[in-house]
């Protein structure tokens, strides 16, 4: 057993031990004795006596219920609750041992007059599990007579035979029963699903989900995966219609959230994040434990209230707030153990050596034959000098003598066999402390939390430490006036690594660095300058030891984000509430980068003059200030069966980013890796103008947004719903002639199950609601100041001055700009249905949507005669469609006091299509390597389809005779065959000077002209899944709970950009292990797919995208599996002031099932970070990205 | 009463709303200026004019490392690397260039960026109150640069889109998206240059001002433009009588020649022309792109980049690669004992190279150092070129003796026998260069190798069918991986970049053969 495994067993073993310690749930004796009070106060006292229990209730509602005298004595909380329910109408719903929902249902007045009949009916009302339902109300329809059940669930009533009885109780579906006269009449009640009765945030307001007619996905705190280090990761797989992708496993990265497909070519389509009502940038590092709920507005009708920023969807995050109770202190401690989730299978040292030798020998043979010389196998023994003298191309034909016995033509077993992944990745620990203090009085409620998290990365020299603080305070000044404030701070300190290409990404470097080199010198120092030293001579990639790259390159980022928000509400007349909300967010970031002289620079060794010159430090300071002023008025009123909600608002938001980014060269040593140590002479200090590695160029940007918005919501008797909203945004980002945009929406709902005809039509125990909506939302993610042509930052040119020359300032015109630049708009229809089955034990939410994005923001190509090659504009007559279906099901499979099992699942299907590109031609993009064409965006197809050649087969020896015949007809100067000539052999590719040989792949000649050239390029695959899905199981048995979450994607392909180097059969770097199965000769043809080794290029080489380089990206992942246990209460602990203890263990990214060869099939590499080609156009690319982490966590949650 | 209060509150809120609205959503970039803001003074116009020079010296335009578009496209240099960057650079010397080639697109747009900047400056000059002498000079410089860029483009692509005023709206740009016939482009070039020649430019730029256009440079270019128009547009098409173009070429080249500040070419050593220490004072140079030795930002890379593995004769900066590869076809073109060969090219016997590299540009000074921060200037125009063009013009005009006299100026300075001697006594010379025309072409190739003239020389000396024959007569063995057989009539011009062609296939038709 490995050490690692042992450790995991220990974690799980400990947990099991804890489970065996006790068996019974929290017991608590309750005594209440209050006079002249109200139910809210009663609950407050109850809370004091049951501090471990979370009571949810409406303060407002319970305050109104006056009670003269309350006296309860009970051994258990549940008993006390039962008494309160029967005597005072305080109905309760206990979801588990610690969450209780309370609601007041008036206790029926004593029967007025006589009971409505003469026939005595009695019976017992019980739930699905046979447990009595206490305090259920039995109402005799058509009368005002009601009664309630007693402690045993029993009732007795005098009715007329045939009378309809309506039985209701909170937490259960209302039952209608006909009293036919037979007695006893036992009635079974079914727990009601509360998915649709949840309260959701919809932007500026909150409402019951069942009253909302848009498409919303919500996740409550208890559904989030608590052990996830970021809020985004806690969401993976939880919501339909929203794809949360774990694309990067670094400790400072957060998953990418995408709502309902991609609707833009050039503008980012990230959702808008609104935290506690403040629409701000994405605070990736918000403390997940602070989150009360996450609501995602998916359809344009719901999102339209956020106008110009909402077309990527809106993610509303709500944090926990204090409740009236005695102070409650909670402490969480979590320890995790992180490791590489999946190791890539690569060639080992001897296999790699064989490839190096084969690649160079094959190239030598090719080049000899290409020159028309005769080849004989004795030439494999030619030494390197003879080879170069004969065919040149030294790097392609020379073999390192330590790997090849020239005379014997055999491979020498290499001295080292290094597994670079084992060297680079490590097993690391993770620690999190979280403290939360909450409580309050009637007029003042508070929640304070602080967290500290220290997470090392599995990759050397990467980590994040994070500090979070939050304070939420709410107070009531008087009946009409309420105030509140939220203050939060997030501080992070990252040690980062570079991603992407191998020349700087250790992740990529570890994949292709040659296993024949040692990681360390005999003296223990990192062995540098090995591949680099030999790269020019033997055709290796000039990569530095990835350990050195990771350890010596210093990248740090410190971020400090403070959010301050204060609001006040005033109820001017009943139900008309004004609210003013003022917010401020500040963000300061310091980023430092240092490339040391202790790394090779190209082919020059560490500390060489060139390496010293290449060393540089970059530092960036960001100061950001965002200010928000928001004024709303809401009015809510019922007129009989009519219910009306009105919202009107105005908001203004001002955001300023001031970034200073400086690059300094001229370091003499690496002692001080900061800008101060560089700068010999002024010329070595530069203002950085590009943005890379997540930094901004030096710039000062002010963005302002001014908005008016309103919403009307109406429903009649909870049956018919109608809503409309309108927002008008004015933005500083757009052209002088086009500053204002208007975003309307309408929606309607129909609660069919409340119709009289429904009962006869479908069974009583189902509910059905239909929804439809249309809305318009906008996208303004295009950067600032893009509507005016300006000169670029001044640069320098040189004129003669004496014998040297001197620099003169030069201004160059920037891009042509469109003064009419405006919004990109998305118009979306959504129809949905909400279905409750088996008394809402199963609830289904289904949505179908069809959205069209138009006035697309694109860099529209224009003739260079203008001085620019493109103009950022709204493309007329352009349309992108996203249509799809998302489906969510929640099932309460088992629901008893002791055992609960819930299953939830979701599936999302999205189809993206460019309906019209207006005047724009197809966009061909390179998504991985320089000038390596990978994607096309064209009319009638989804955005960014893989574009390349189709592999038609592998050339074998039997084909050579036919190729020879074809050669006789081939005209090399026109690169064509005579008209009408029918090929005998496989078609040749004109892009390669190397003719087809056995072991080469050949491509499909799509247009049938006998040759393969750019005219044969076609769409060869799709980065878009046929569907994505997620499902969760959660169960609790008494004090033990278990949950498991899964997520997956089906039917998409991944372009493994690394293949350009990692799967090219060159022997210029290490390769996937499957390369051992390559074609070597007719007697050793390999697996029939992997082409032959060659260092000088083959017809099937990696520099052109073909189906060979696309992989199936489908996967199924267990994202989280966890086990928790609520310890029984110990007297000793009570004495120590501890109310409850919960322990848990969980595993994140437990396993992934996929055929993908690389680290992680969930990819979203953005090759061009500076926005010249947005990643929208090049989806589905993997390229040197930090791999995913599997973590084993255990933790404890203590309540004081 | 209640209603009253409500109205009051509403009014107050409205006042609050409206007070912050005005001008809030209009923001301008504090880090940049618009053309209207910049073009307000002479000094600021100069800064934009400097921008024209800077764009011209870009390596995607006419800079020292723009050889991909010129020499690699000829028979002088190339690469055997058919894999780098998707094999796209290799397409240039393999004559298999595809319209989608990204390097081609970069070249096209870099040239136009320079032209657009010139248009902007010329329009800006008209908006500013100026002293007239500066107005004339700045105008002349911008017109000269525009003409020089257009001249390269019309030779590379034939008919091209052309604008002479700033294009600022989508409508204007779309209206200008069509290929203007070469004849008109030449007319614009000549108009620009003629106007520039009257702008009051100094005849010779003083050492402290090297890099700026001079009257010498304007006359050089006018001569070259007329000569090229004569040779490529065969009279009838150019709208001018052939002899008129030849006469004009002779006139301006002679004027340029007469503006020299040395007596005879032999007074300047061939190697001194490229001597990094003499670059500001060498009287042979007419126009150069100036670099600063040892400067991290403004140094020249040409010496270091051309050098091959194991050699330190160009630069102290080591290079592990093959450097700038010279075709064997050029190696064999040099006459035996031509000292220019020994200077310009070097054989690297290193086991990984075993081939020739360019050694014409050298800076091994301590100031340039092991990082190769060379101080070489990139010479765009020099007198040996003027003299050989005069030989060419006179040959066309039938002044054979005059033509030979010009060739001999160059041959004598190089240390070679005169044309008379070689063409009558040297059997190899006689066999390889049987006509005066071929001898002039040969002399240009030997003298001006790697100075980005060879492609234009070939296109000027031959019509495309003859050029195809000429190229196909060469031995494939001298060209490495590149296939000389791929050279066809299509190679008279580059393809129009696909991205431009697709904008308007009717008005931006593709060149034949692509």
Positive or negative torsion for Cα A693, A697, A701, A707:
negative
DSSP per-residue letters across B349-399:
--TTT-EEEE-SS-B--TTTGGGT-B-PPEEEEEHHHHHHHHHHHHHHHT-
State the pairing for strand pair B355-358/A933-937: unpaired
Residue A895 β-bridge partners: A900
Residue A598 distance to chain B (closest CA, Å):
16
Residue A164 host element (H or E): strand A163-168
CB < 8 Å to B502, chain A: 861, 921
Contacts of A650 in chain B (CB under 8 A): 13, 17
Q: Over chain A (1200 residues), what is each successive 10-residue block's mean pLDDT?
A: 50 45 47 81 81 77 79 76 77 71 68 63 74 76 77 79 78 75 75 60 84 86 79 83 88 88 85 90 82 91 92 92 86 94 96 97 92 91 90 89 96 96 95 94 93 95 96 93 95 93 92 96 95 91 95 95 94 92 95 95 91 92 95 91 93 95 90 86 74 82 95 92 95 88 95 82 78 93 89 90 80 93 92 87 93 91 94 91 94 83 94 92 83 89 95 95 93 83 91 87 93 91 95 89 93 93 94 96 94 90 90 95 84 74 92 95 71 70 93 91
Say what angle helices B242-258 and B215-232 make with each other, to 10 degrees.
150
Give the mutation candidate from B125, B308, B371 for the A interface (greatest A CB count, under 10 A): B371
CA distance A1091 to chain B (A): 17
Report which DSSP code applies to A265: S
Neighboring chain A residues of B26 at a CB cutoff of 8 Å: 732, 736, 739
Please tell me the predicted confidence (pLDDT) of residue A803: 61
H-helix segments, A338-402: 349-370, 384-391, 394-397
Say which residue the tokens 């003064």 belong to: A819
SS3 at position A635: strand
Residue A1014: its chain B contacts at CB < 8 A? 98, 100
Q: What is the pLDDT of residue A1174?
A: 55
Task: Give the whole-angstrom CA distance, residue B313 versus residue B274.
Answer: 14
**For A973, which of B371, B488, B503 is closest by C-beta distance?**
B488
Task: Say which residues have a Cβ less than 8 Å from residue B37's Cβ, sequence separation at least 6.
Answer: none
The tokens for A733 are: 């980002």
Rounded to whole angstroms, the Cα distance separating A123 from A155 reads 6
- Quick one: closest CA in A to B308, which residue? A536
Distance between CA atoms of residues B74 and B452, nearest Å:
9
B32 to A791: CB separation less than 8 angstroms, yes or no: yes
Alpha carbon distance A243, A241 (integer Å): 7
Angle between helices B383-397 and B400-414 (to 10 degrees): 150
Report phi then psi at B487, rounded to 5: -70, 120
Q: What is the DSSP track for B180-241?
A: BPHHHHHHHHHHHHHHHHTS---SS--GGGTTS--HHHHHHHHHHHHHHHHHHSTGGGGTS-
Closest CA to A853 of A771, A918, A921, A788: A918
Q: Which residue of A has its CA nearest to B484?
A: A973
Task: Give the one of B55, B115, B483 whose C-beta lies nearest to A812's C-beta.
Answer: B55
B13 chain-A contacts, CB cut-off 8 A: 578, 631, 633, 650
Question: Which residues of chain A lie closer than 8 angstroms to B6, CB-CB?
Answer: 572-573, 576
Contacts with A808 from chain B: Cβ below 8 Å? 50
Q: Which of A609, A652, A810 sits opposite B47 (nearest CB)?
A: A810
> Are the C-beta atoms of residues A926 and A882 closer than 8 Å to each other?
no
Nearest CA in chain B to A532: B320
- The CA distance from A34 to A69, in Å, is 6
CB pairs under 8 A between A and B: 319
- 8 A C-beta contact, residue A911 and residue B208: no
Q: Are A495 and A463 in contact (CB under 8 A)?
A: yes
Spatial contact of B65 and B59, defined as CB atoms under 8 Å apart: yes
Q: Closest residue of B to A809, CA-based?
A: B47
Give the E-state strand segments of A862-967 in sequence order. 870-895, 899-917, 923-926, 933-937, 945-948, 951-954
Question: What DSSP designation does A904 have?
Answer: E
Best interface-test mutation with B: which of A531, A737, A866 has the largest number of B CBs within 10 A?
A: A866
The b/e string for A654-692 (b: 16+ C-beta within 10 A; e otherwise) is bbebbbbbbbbbbbeebeebebebbbeeebbebebeebe
Dmax (CA) for chain B in angstroms is 121
| B109/A864 touch (CB, cutoff 8 Å), yes or no | yes
Residues of chain B with pLDDT under 50: 1-3, 7, 11, 15, 18-21, 236
Exposed/middle/buried for residue A641 (C-beta within 10 Å: 0-12, 13-18, 19+): exposed
Give the pLDDT confidence score for residue A1130 in this predicted structure. Answer: 64
Distance CA A327, CA A333 (A): 20
Contact partners, residue B401, CB within 8 Å, separation at least 6 = none
**Which H or E run contains B258?**
helix B242-258
Q: B492 vs chain A: nearest CA distance in angstroms?
A: 15
Q: Which residues of B touch A795 (CB under 8 A)?
A: 51, 54
Q: Mutate which of A542, A604, A610, A812 to disrupt the B interface (most B C-beta within 10 Å)?
A: A812
The CA distance from A266 to A1172, in Å, is: 8
**Residue A556: which of A696, A699, A694, A700 has the closest Cα?**
A694
Buried/exposed A231-258: b ≥16 CB within 10 Å, e otherwise: bbbbbbbbbbbbbbbbbbbbbbbbbbbb
Query: No. of H helices and E strands in chain A?
Result: 18, 59
- Confidence (pTM): 0.84
Q: In this structure, how many other beta carbons lie within 10 angstroms of the beta carbon of residue B333?
A: 19
> How many whole angstroms from its chain centre is CA A1178?
18
Say yes or no for a CB contact (<8 Å) between B352 and A388: yes
Measured between beta carbons, the chain A residues lying within 8 angstroms of B357 are none
Interface test with B, best of A810, A859, A1099 (most B CBs within 10 A): A810
**3-class secondary structure, A1053:** strand
Q: Is the peptide bond before B49 cis (omega within 30 degrees of 0)?
A: no
CB-CB contact of A948 with A935 (8 Å): no
Residue A612 burial class via C-beta count within 10 angstroms: exposed 0-12, middle 13-18, buried 19 and up: buried
CA nearest neighbour of A37 among A57, A77, A74, A65: A65
Identify from A363, A616, A735, A811 which residue to disrupt to test chain B contact, counting B C-beta atoms within 10 A and taking the largest count: A811
pLDDT at A170: 66
CA-to-CA dists, residue A827 to A204, A299, A745, A855, A929, angstroms:
22, 9, 9, 11, 35
Distance from the A1105 Cα atom to the nearest Cα atom in chain B, whole angstroms: 10
In the beta sheet, which residues pair with residue A1041? A1036, A1124
* Smallest Cα distance from A106 to chain B, Å: 33
Dihedral of the alpha carbons of A309, A310, A311, A317, in degrees to the nearest 10: 130
CB contact under 8 A, A993 and B115: no
Residue among B24, B33, B100 minimizing CB distance to A704:
B24
Q: What residues of chain A lie within 8 A of the CB of B85, using their CB?
A: 930-931
C-beta separation of B375 from B279 below 8 A: yes
Sheet with A154-159: strands ordered across: A154-159, A119-127, A187-189
């Amino acid at each position: 057993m490995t050490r690692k495994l042992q450790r995991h067993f220990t974690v799980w073993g400990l947990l099991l031990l804890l489970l065996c310690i006790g068996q019974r749930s929290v017991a608590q004796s309750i005594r209440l004795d209050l006079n002249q009070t109200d139910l809210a106060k009663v609950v407050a006292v109850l809370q004091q006596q049951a501090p471990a229990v979370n009571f949810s209730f409406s303060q407002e509602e319970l305050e109104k219920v006056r009670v003269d005298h309350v006296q309860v004595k009970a051994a258990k909380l549940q008993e006390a609750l039962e008494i309160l329910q029967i005597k005072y109408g305080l109905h309760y719903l206990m979801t588990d041992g610690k969450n209780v929902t309370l609601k007041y249902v008036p206790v029926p007045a004593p029967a007025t007059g006589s009971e409505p009949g003469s026939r005595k009916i009695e019976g017992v009302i019980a739930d699905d599990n046979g447990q009595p339902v206490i305090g259920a109300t039995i109402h005799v329809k058509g009368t005002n007579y009601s009664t309630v059940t007693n402690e045993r669930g029993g009732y007795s009533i005098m009715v007329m035979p045939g009378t309809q009885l309506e039985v209701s109780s909170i937490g259960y579906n209302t039952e209608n029963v006909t009293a036919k006269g037979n007695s006893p009449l036992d009635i079974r009640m079914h727990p009601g699903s509360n998915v649709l009765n949840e309260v959701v945030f919809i932007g500026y307001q909150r409402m019951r989900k069942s009253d909302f007619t848009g498409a919303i996905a919500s996740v409550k705190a208890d559904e989030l995966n608590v052990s996830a280090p970021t809020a985004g990761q806690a969401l993976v797989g939880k919501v339909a219609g929203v794809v949360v992708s774990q694309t990067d496993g670094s400790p400072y990265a957060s998953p990418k959230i995408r709502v309902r497909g991609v609707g833009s070519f050039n503008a980012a389509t990230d959702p808008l994040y609104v935290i506690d009502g403040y629409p701000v940038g994405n605070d990736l590092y918000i403390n997940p434990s602070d989150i009360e709920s996450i609501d995602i507005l998916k359809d344009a009708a719901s999102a339209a209230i956020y106008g110009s920023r909402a077309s990527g969807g809106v993610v509303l995050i709500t944090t926990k707030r204090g409740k009236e109770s005695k102070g409650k202190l909670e402490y969480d401690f979590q320890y995790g153990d992180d490791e590489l989730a999946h190791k890539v299978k690569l060639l080992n040292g001897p296999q790699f050596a064989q490839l190096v030798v084969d690649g160079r020998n094959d190239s030598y043979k090719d080049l000899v034959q290409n020159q028309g010389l005769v080849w004989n196998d004795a030439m494999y023994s030619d030494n390197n000098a003879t080879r170069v003298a004969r065919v040149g191309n030294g790097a392609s034909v020379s073999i390192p003598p330590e790997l090849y016995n020239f005379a014997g033509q055999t491979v020498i077993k290499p001295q080292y066999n290094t597994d670079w992944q084992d060297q680079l990745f490590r097993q690391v620990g993770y620690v999190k402390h979280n403290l939360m203090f909450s409580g309050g009085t009637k007029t003042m409620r508070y929640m304070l939390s602080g967290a500290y998290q220290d997470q090392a990365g599995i990759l050397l020299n990467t980590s994040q430490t994070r500090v979070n603080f939050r304070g939420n305070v709410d107070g009531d000044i008087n009946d009409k006036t309420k105030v509140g404030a939220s203050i939060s701070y997030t501080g992070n300190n990252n040690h980062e690594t570079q991603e992407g290409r191998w020349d700087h990404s250790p992740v990529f470097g570890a994949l292709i660095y040659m296993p024949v080199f040692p990681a360390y010198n005999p003296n223990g120092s990192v062995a540098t300058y090995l591949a680099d030293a030999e790269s020019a001579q033997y055709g290796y990639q000039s990569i530095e030891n990835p350990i050195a790259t990771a350890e010596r390159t210093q990248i740090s980022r410190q971020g400090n984000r403070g959010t301050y928000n204060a609001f006040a509400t005033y109820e001017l007349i009943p139900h008309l509430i004004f609210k003013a909300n003022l917010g401020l967010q500040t963000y300061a970031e310091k980023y430092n980068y240092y490339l040391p002289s202790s790394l090779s620079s190209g082919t020059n060794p560490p500390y060489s003059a060139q390496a010293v010159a290449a060393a540089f430090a970059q530092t960036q300071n960001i100061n950001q200030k965002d200010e928000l002023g928001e004024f709303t008025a809401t009015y809510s009123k019922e007129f009989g069966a009519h219910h009306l909600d009105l919202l009107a608002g105005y908001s203004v938001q001002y955001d300023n980013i001031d970034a200073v980014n400086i690059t300094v060269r001229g370091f003499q040593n690496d002692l001080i890796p900061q800008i101060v140590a560089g700068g010999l002479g002024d010329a070595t200090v530069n203002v950085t103008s590009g943005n890379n590695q997540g930094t901004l160029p030096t710039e000062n940007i002010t963005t302002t947004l001014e908005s008016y918005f309103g919403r009307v919501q109406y429903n009649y008797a909870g049956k018919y719903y109608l809503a409309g909203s309108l927002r008008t945004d004015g933005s500083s980002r757009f052209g002088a002639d086009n500053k204002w945009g208007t975003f309307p929406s309408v929606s309607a709902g129909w609660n069919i199950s409340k119709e009289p005809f429904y009962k006869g039509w479908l069974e009583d125990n189902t509910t059905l609601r239909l929804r439809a909506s249309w809305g318009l939302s906008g996208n303004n993610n295009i950067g600032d100041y893009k509507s005016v042509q300006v000169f670029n930052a001044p640069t320098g040119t040189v004129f003669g001055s004496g014998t040297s020359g001197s620099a003169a300032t030069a201004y160059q015109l920037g891009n042509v700009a469109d003064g009419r630049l405006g919004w990109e708009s998305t118009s979306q229809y959504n129809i949905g249905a909400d279905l409750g089955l088996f008394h809402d034990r199963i609830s289904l939410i289904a949505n179908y949507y069809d959205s069209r994005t138009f006035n697309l923001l694109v860099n529209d190509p224009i003739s260079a005669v203008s001085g620019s090659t493109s103009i950022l504009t709204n493309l007329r007559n352009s349309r992108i469609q996203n249509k799809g279906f998302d489906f969510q099901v929640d099932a309460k499979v088992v629901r008893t006091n002791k055992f609960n099992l819930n299953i939830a699942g979701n599936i999302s299907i999205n189809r993206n299509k460019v309906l019209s590109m207006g005047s724009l031609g197809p966009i061909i993009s390179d998504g991985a390597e320089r000038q390596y064409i990978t994607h096309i965006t064209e009319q009638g197809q989804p955005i960014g389809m893989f574009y390349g050649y189709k592999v038609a087969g592998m050339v074998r020896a039997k084909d050579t005779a036919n190729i020879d015949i074809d050669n006789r007809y081939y005209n090399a100067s026109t690169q064509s065959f005579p008209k009408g000539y029918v090929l005998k052999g496989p078609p040749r590719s004109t892009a390669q000077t190397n003719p087809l040989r056995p072991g080469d792949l050949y491509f499909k000649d799509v247009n049938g002209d006998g040759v393969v050239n750019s005219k044969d390029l076609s769409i060869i695959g799709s980065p878009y899944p046929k569907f994505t899905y997620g499902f969760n199981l959660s169960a609790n048995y008494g004090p033990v709970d278990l949950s498991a979450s899964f997520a997956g994607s089906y039917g998409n392909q991944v372009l493994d950009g690394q293949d350009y180097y990692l799967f090219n059969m060159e022997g210029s770097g290490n390769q996937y292990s499957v390369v051992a199965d390559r074609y070597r000769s007719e007697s050793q043809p390999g697996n029939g797919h992997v082409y032959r080794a060659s260092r000088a290029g083959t017809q099937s080489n990696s520099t052109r995208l073909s189906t060979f380089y696309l992989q199936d990206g489908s996967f199924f992942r267990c994202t989280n599996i966890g086990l928790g246990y609520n310890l029984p209460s110990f007297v000793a602990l009570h004495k120590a002031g501890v109310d409850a203890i919960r322990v848990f263990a969980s595993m994140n990214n437990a396993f992934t099932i996929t055929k993908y060869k690389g680290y992680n099939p969930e990819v979203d590499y953005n090759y061009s970070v500076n926005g010249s080609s947005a990643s929208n156009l090049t989806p589905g690319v993997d390229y040197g990205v930090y791999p995913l982490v599997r973590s084993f966590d255990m933790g404890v949650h203590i309540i004081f | 009463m209640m209603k009253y209060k409500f109205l009051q509150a509403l009014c107050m809120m409205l006042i609050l709303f409206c007070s912050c609205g005005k001008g809030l959503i209009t923001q301008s970039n504090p880090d940049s200026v618009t053309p209207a803001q910049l073009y307000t003074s002479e000094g600021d116009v100069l800064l934009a004019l400097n921008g024209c020079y800077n764009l011209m010296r870009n390596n995607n335009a006419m800079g020292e490392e723009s050889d991909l578009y010129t020499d690699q496209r000829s028979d002088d240099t190339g690469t055997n690397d058919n894999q780098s960057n998707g094999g796209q650079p290799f397409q240039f010397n393999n004559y298999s260039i595809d319209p989608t080639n990204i390097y081609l697109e970069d070249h096209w747009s870099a040239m136009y960026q320079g032209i657009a900047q010139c248009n902007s400056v010329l329009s800006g000059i008209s908006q500013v109150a100026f002293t007239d002498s500066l107005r004339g000079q700045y105008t002349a410089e911008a017109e000269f640069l525009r003409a020089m860029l257009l001249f390269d483009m019309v030779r590379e692509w034939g008919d091209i889109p052309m604008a002479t005023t700033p294009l600022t709206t989508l409508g204007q740009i779309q209206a200008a998206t069509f290929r203007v016939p070469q004849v008109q482009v030449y007319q614009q070039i000549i108009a620009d240059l003629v106007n520039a020649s009257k702008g009051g430019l100094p005849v010779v730029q003083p050492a402290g001002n090297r890099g700026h256009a001079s009257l010498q440079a304007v006359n050089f270019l006018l001569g070259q433009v007329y000569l090229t128009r004569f040779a490529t547009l065969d009279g009838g098409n150019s709208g001018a009588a052939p002899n008129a173009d030849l006469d004009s070429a002779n006139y301006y080249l002679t004027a340029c020649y007469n503006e020299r500040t040395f007596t005879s070419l032999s007074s300047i050593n061939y190697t001194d022309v490229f001597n990094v220490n003499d670059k500001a004072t060498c009287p042979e140079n007419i126009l150069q792109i100036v670099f600063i030795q040892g400067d991290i930002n403004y140094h020249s890379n040409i010496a270091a980049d051309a050098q091959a593995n194991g050699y330190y004769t160009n630069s102290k900066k080591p290079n592990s690669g093959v450097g700038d590869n010279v075709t064997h076809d050029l190696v064999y073109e040099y006459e035996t004992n031509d000292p220019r060969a020994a200077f310009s090219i070097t054989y690297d016997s290193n086991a990984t190279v075993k081939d020739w590299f360019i050694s014409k540009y050298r800076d091994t000074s301590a100031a340039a150092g092991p990082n190769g921060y060379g101080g070489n200037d990139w010479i765009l125009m020099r007198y040996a070129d003027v003299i050989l063009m005069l030989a060419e013009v006179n040959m066309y005009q039938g002044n054979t003796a005059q033509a030979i006299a010009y060739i001999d100026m160059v041959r004598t300075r190089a240390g070679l026998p005169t044309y008379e001697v070689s063409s009558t006594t040297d059997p190899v010379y006689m066999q390889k260069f049987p006509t005066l025309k071929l001898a002039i072409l040969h002399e240009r190739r030997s003298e001006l190798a790697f100075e980005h003239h060879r492609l234009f020389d070939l296109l000027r000396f031959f019509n495309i069918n003859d050029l195809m024959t000429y190229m196909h007569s060469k031995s494939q063995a001298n060209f490495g991986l590149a296939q000389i057989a791929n050279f066809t009539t299509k190679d008279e011009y580059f393809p129009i970049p696909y991205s431009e062609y697709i904008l308007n296939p009717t008005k931006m038709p593709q060149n034949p053969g692509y």
